[in-house]
Amino acid sequence: MTVNFSRVSSHGIMALTLLLFGQRCTPRQESTASPETFQVIRPLIKDTVYLREYVADIQSVQNTEIRAKAGGYLETIHVDEGEFVAAGQPLFTISRKQYEQEVLQAEAAVASAVAETKAAEVELKNTRALVEKNIVSQSELELAQAKVEALKARTAEARAHEANARLELSFAQIRAPFAGYINRIPNKAGSLITEGSLLTTISNNNQMLVYFNVSEREYLDYLSTSSEGKPKEVQLLLANGQVYPFTGQVETAESEFDSSTGNIAFRARFPNPTQLLKHGGSGKIIFSKTLKSAMLVPQKSTFEVQENIYVFVVTEGNKVQQRKIVPSFRLPQVYVISSGLSPNDQFVYEGIQKLKEGDPIIPQVISFSTRMNTQK
């Protein structure tokens, strides 16, 4: 149709303009997407076990350095590295000739002193008889008595020297102070040994002491939860990731905290019947703590905003609402929470990355415990 604007009145032009503007401004009918279906669950309330690991240092119940108490050449090594020895068994022999000669000289000095003392005692006896007959003066008797006393003191001194010489001779033979395993032997036969030289170390590995550090808070929690008079049982995780088959008991703690770290050291004792553990080893102490009626929330159901943990709770009208929760422990796959949810609250199980505050959903209620069991 052709419109001749030259014949159209001003009123007609206005009417036509309003008609065209009205057609352009008529709102279109937009389609609204239907809510998606999301699985929702309730917190799981159950008793659970919380495990905490601490870096540990493993030490023998006895680990002693064997050092030379006498100098000389190392004549004989009676044992080998890694060998088990009994208490009192000979380990090393240092050259003995020098010490044997000193013993002989000390014995001779004792014999000489004893002989002189006997002679002086005979002289004293004769002098006493002469004094009784007024042949010699009393002063002669006193001199004879003093001589005997001096020789007795000299004899005692000679015997002390002899005992010391025999002790020095015994130092040439080094024996095991207790039953245990011999460690590295740095000096070989023929080496010149000085007094104090390290010959080896010996370890009694029948029982092992394991040291680990805990924070002040954990120390106080331990004291408040441990049974009075009953040691706390712990496990040991070895360096290869395997759990040591024997349990240990916490025996004691140090008397003060480390000012630089704020930690305090505990000591646990472990049996070692298979001799698997060695002095100087490392591992991790595993503390287990039973949590009664713990409230559990899957980690996959949570998200973090500015270091706070949240879940999407389903409210009235099936809309999701962001809810802050406060975890007290983190376990594999789940959080143990202390506040933020009640046992009857429902929250989105998975797919939270698709949601935002106030979104409507179609909730599909599932069992938390059943879902977790299928994922094990």
Same domain, 84 and 182: yes
Which among 237, 264, 291 is the end of a domain? 291
pLDDT by residue (tens digit) across 83-131?
999 999 999 999 988 888 999 999 999 999 999 999 988 988 888 888 8
Q: Is residue 13 part of a domain?
A: no
pLDDT by residue (tens digit) across 331-358?
888 999 999 999 999 999 999 999 999 9
- 226 pLDDT exceeds 80? no
Same domain, 211 and 306: no
Q: Is residue 16 part of a domain?
A: no
pLDDT by residue (tens digit) across 129-160?
888 888 888 888 888 899 999 999 999 999 99
Q: Is residue 152 part of a domain?
A: yes
How much is the pLDDT for 1?
Answer: 43
Confidence label for 176 from pLDDT (cuts 50, 70 and 90): very high
How much is the pLDDT for 178?
Answer: 95
CA distances to 41, 195, 347 from 344, rounded to whole Å, are: 9, 77, 10
Q: Is residue 262 part of a domain?
A: yes
Confidence label for 299 from pLDDT (cuts 50, 70 and 90): very high
pTM value? 0.66
Lowest-confidence segment of 13-27, 76-90, 257-271 by average pLDDT: 13-27
Q: Is residue 6 part of a domain?
A: no
The CATH number that applies at residue 330 is 2.40.420.20
Q: Is residue 313 part of a domain?
A: yes
How much is the pLDDT for 221?
Answer: 75
Q: Is residue 31 part of a domain?
A: no
The CATH number that applies at residue 140 is 1.10.287
Same domain, 262 and 316: no
Bridge partners (DSSP) listed for residue 348? 40
Structural domain containing residue 342: 37-48+292-374
The alpha carbon dihedral of 309, 315, 320, 321 has a sign of negative
- Crossing angle between the packed helical segments 138-171 and 97-132, to the nearest 10 degrees: 170
**Helix, strand, coil distribution of the chain in percent, nearest 5:** 30, 40, 30
The CATH number that applies at residue 275 is 2.40.30.170
CA distances to 135, 340, 350 from 361, rounded to whole Å, are: 136, 21, 13
> Residue 352: what are its φ and ψ, rounded to 5°?
-65, -20
Number of domains, the chain? 4
Among 197, 196, 200, smallest CA distance to 181 is for 200
